């Protein structure tokens, strides 16, 4: 059985803590690898390695840093199929879905290739008598990312690509559930020409996370995961003077107006609700039809579509979705379904009994569909993170608007309508960070910024886009005056431009 260590100083190294975790193959339920879990000493060694390498990297001009990103893109395309197969086998998502995971990460790498332009400062000539003012962006030093299991390629690239392009060294702590792809990406960065020590991958659990938070040489940390952990990391980072961008859970709503194209809406809900077995922070988990007629039409079309979902292995190209990531995740989702039944919701489709022939020990579950869910139920208030869609019936538009606006989470939301005025009003008023209009998963493209509100996001700056450059750099402003023609004599009042 293979053992996955850490990637430090440009190569894979064995762990020394003596602690390991199992890496499962979700479609069979078997343990396929052991991953080393780092101690605080191992994390410290990675940070020291990164700190030593960062000085020269930070002084490398942005165009040369961009060339390495371009070479990395070329190498990732070369290994695209191999990376997708590895990702699918560790995570459980299908290979086509795994390729989407990789592609959305590579799009942020493409954005980071524009770093010579993105890091340009500002310049004002003649801001005062003989005075010029200009600003420059400089790297922070060593920064870190703590990334989740559900996007083991995309989220690490969202973090390390802009950070490294800005001249920082990066320490990545990926999920211990599917660490293979982050390790492979680090190796590709070295092959692309990245100096050793600039990208380090340290596998681990809470001990490694706390080591990141306590290390004085780590100047910023980015996190994606559950909301309680996001808040914990944000608060701990603040206590130690680190910048932090921490993204948590979600409960994404889809509002279905009476004039919506119902066939297109159902297609959108099926893909966004059940793709990747619902293990997406941007999955649609709540459908809100407006009016009884709309709700009845929706359920009439949804039920047979959910019943017809094809669950298969991760490597089955015809599967709609594959297994969940671990048995613990599977049992957690099943427990939520039982909670929904006890709370009085109508379980219109029950996928808990699904068994995959020949893969009976895999972590499979069919799609579940609840109707008549109310906002006081746990299955509405809490993130389930599985193939479960809840229908909450709204009497009118204002009630539908209030549901996502009042919810504790505020990651993404969508509205399905043919009415431009309703869509415009909804986009302006809804209290959620990312909005889709007839788009079920409104993840912005790489040169816009990604981030939720309320308990879905902690911190002032979001992921990728211009915010990522601001997050991973500090701005220095220079006010310059040369002595030629300057009046002599001391000035005791504060300088002004009057």
CATH (domain of 151): 3.40.605.10
Cβ atoms 236, 244 nearer than 8 A? no
Q: Is 49 helix (H, G, I), strand (E, B) or coil?
A: helix
Angle between helix axes 397-406 and 420-429 (nearest 10 degrees) is 30
DSSP 227-243: HHHHHHHHHHHHHTT-E
Question: Residue 323: which of 20, 4, 30, 2 has the closest Cα?
Answer: 30
Domain annotation covers residue 286: yes
Angle at 8 between CA 3 and CA 12, to 5 degrees: 35
The pLDDT of residue 488 is: 66
Average pLDDT over residues 281-298: 96
Domain annotation covers residue 382: yes
What pTM was estimated for this model as a whole? 0.94
Assigned token pair, 276: 């990747």
The pLDDT of residue 460 is: 87
* Secondary element (H or E) of residue 292: helix 292-307
Please tell me whether residues 115 and 235 are part of one structural domain.
Answer: yes
- 206 secondary structure, DSSP code: H
- Last-in-domain residue among 408, 437, 466: 437
Assigned token pair, 333: 């989702």
Among the residue ranges 6-10, 171-175, 374-378, 494-498, the one predicted with the least confidence is: 494-498
Domain annotation covers residue 362: yes
Domain annotation covers residue 406: yes
pLDDT at position 431 over 90: yes
Assigned token pair, 180: 């293979």
- Last-in-domain residue among 437, 464, 492: 437
Please tell me whether residues 232 and 306 are part of one structural domain.
Answer: no
* Complete edge-to-edge strand list for the sheet that includes strand 20-25: 2-4, 30-36, 20-25
Please tell me whether residues 80 and 139 are part of one structural domain.
Answer: yes
Cβ atoms 16, 25 nearer than 8 A? no
Average pLDDT over residues 463-471: 94
pLDDT at position 42 over 60: yes
Residue 314 lies in domain: 252-437
The pLDDT of residue 483 is: 77
Domain annotation covers residue 448: no
- Which residues are bridge partners to 138 per DSSP? 474
Domain annotation covers residue 451: no
Within 10 A of 13 (CB to CB), how many other CB atoms are there? 16
What pLDDT, in 10s, does the model give residues 55-91?
999 999 999 999 999 999 999 999 999 999 999 999 9
Please tell me whether residues 338 and 407 are part of one structural domain.
Answer: yes
What CATH code is carried by the domain that includes residue 381?
3.40.309.10
Q: Is 431 helix (H, G, I), strand (E, B) or coil?
A: coil
- Using a 10 angstrom Cβ sphere, with 0-12 exposed, 13-18 middle and 19 or more buried, the burial of residue 308 is exposed
Confidence of residue 487 (pLDDT cuts 50, 70, 90): low
Give the active site residues: 281
pLDDT at position 125 over 90: yes
Please tell me whether residues 103 and 23 are part of one structural domain.
Answer: yes
What pLDDT, in 10s, does the model give residues 148-193?
999 999 999 999 999 999 999 999 999 999 999 999 999 999 999 9
Pairing of strands 199-201, 169-173: parallel
Tell me how many domains the chain contains: 2
Please tell me whether residues 184 and 303 are part of one structural domain.
Answer: no
The pLDDT of residue 386 is: 96
What pLDDT, in 10s, does the model give residues 68-78?
999 999 999 99
Overall size of the chain counted in residues = 498
pLDDT at position 486 over 60: no
pLDDT at position 240 over 80: yes
Question: Cβ contacts of residue 20 below 8 Å, gap of 6+?
Answer: 3, 34, 35, 36, 37
DSSP 386-410: SSEEEE--BSSHHHHHHHHHHSSEE
Domain annotation covers residue 494: no
Please tell me whether residues 257 and 333 are part of one structural domain.
Answer: yes
Q: What's the chain's average pLDDT?
A: 95
336 backbone dihedrals φ, ψ, rounded to 5°: -65, -40
Please tell me whether residues 183 and 159 are part of one structural domain.
Answer: yes
Please tell me whether residues 415 and 462 are part of one structural domain.
Answer: no
Angle at 154 between CA 178 and CA 254, to 5 degrees: 105
Assigned token pair, 211: 């080591």
Average pLDDT over residues 386-411: 97
Please tell me whether residues 161 and 302 are part of one structural domain.
Answer: no
The pLDDT of residue 148 is: 96
DSSP 341-392: HHHT-EEEE--TT---TT-TTS-----EEEES--TTSHHHHS---SSEEEE-
Please tell me whether residues 350 and 229 are part of one structural domain.
Answer: no
Domain annotation covers residue 443: no
Please tell me whether residues 334 and 432 are part of one structural domain.
Answer: yes
């Amino acid at each position: 059985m293979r053992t996955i260590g850490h990637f430090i100083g440009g190569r894979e190294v064995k762990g020394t803590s003596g602690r390991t975790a199992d890496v499962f193959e979700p479609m069979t339920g078997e343990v396929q690898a052991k991953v080393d879990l780092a101690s605080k000493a191992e994390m410290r060694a990675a940070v020291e390695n990164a700190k030593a390498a960062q000085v020269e990297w930070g002084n490398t001009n942005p165009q040369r840093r961009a060339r390495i990103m371009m070479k990395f893109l070329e190498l990732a395309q070369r290994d695209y199929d191999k990376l997708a197969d590895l990702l699918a086998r560790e995570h459980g998502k299908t290979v086509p879905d795994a390729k989407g995971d990789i592609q959305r990460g590579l799009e942020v790498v493409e954005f980071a290739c524009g770093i010579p332009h993105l890091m340009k400062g500002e310049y004002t000539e003649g801001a005062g008598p003989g005075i010029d003012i200009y600003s420059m962006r400089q790297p922070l030093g060593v920064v870190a990312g703590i990334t989740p299991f559900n996007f083991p390629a995309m989220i690490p690239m969202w973090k390390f690509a802009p950070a490294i392009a800005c001249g920082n060294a990066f320490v990545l702590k990926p999920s211990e559930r599917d660490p293979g792809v982050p390790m492979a990406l680090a190796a590709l960065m070295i092959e692309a020409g990245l100096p050793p020590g600039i990208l380090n991958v340290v596998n681990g659990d809470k001990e490694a996370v706390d080591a990141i938070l306590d290390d004085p040489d780590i100047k910023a940390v980015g996190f994606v995961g559950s909301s309680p952990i996001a808040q914990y990391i944000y608060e701990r980072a603040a206590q130690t003077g680190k910048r932090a961008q921490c993204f948590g859970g979600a409960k994404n709503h889809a509002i279905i107006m009476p004039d919506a194209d119902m066939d297109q809406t159902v297609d959108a809900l099926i893909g966004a609700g059940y793709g990747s077995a619902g293990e997406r922070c941007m999955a649609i988990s709540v459908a809100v039809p407006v009016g009884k007629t709309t709700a009845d039409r929706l359920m009439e079309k949804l039920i047979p579509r959910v019943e017809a979902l094809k669950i298969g292995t991760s490597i089955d190209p015809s599967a709609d979705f594959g297994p969940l990531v671990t048995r613990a995740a599977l049992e957690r989702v099943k427990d939520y379904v039982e909670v929904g039944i006890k709370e009085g919701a109508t379980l219109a489709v029950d996928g808990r009994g699904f068994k995959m022939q020949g893969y009976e020990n895999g972590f499979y579950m069919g799609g579940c569909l609840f109707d008549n869910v109310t906002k006081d139920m746990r299955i509405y208030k809490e993130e389930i993170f599985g193939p479960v869609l809840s229908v909450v019936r709204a009497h009118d538009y204002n009630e539908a608007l209030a549901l996502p606006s009042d919810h504790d989470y505020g990651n993404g939301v969508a509205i399905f309508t043919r009415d431009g005025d309703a869509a415009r009003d909804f986009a302006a008023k809804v209290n959620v960070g990312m909005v889709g209009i007839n788009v079920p998963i409104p993840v912005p493209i790489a040169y816009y910024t990604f981030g939720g509100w309320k308990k879905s996001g902690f911190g002032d700056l979001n992921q990728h886009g211009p915010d990522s450059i601001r997050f991973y750099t500090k701005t220095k402003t220079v006010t310059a005056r040369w002595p030629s023609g300057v009046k002599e004599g001391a000035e005791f009042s504060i300088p002004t431009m009057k």
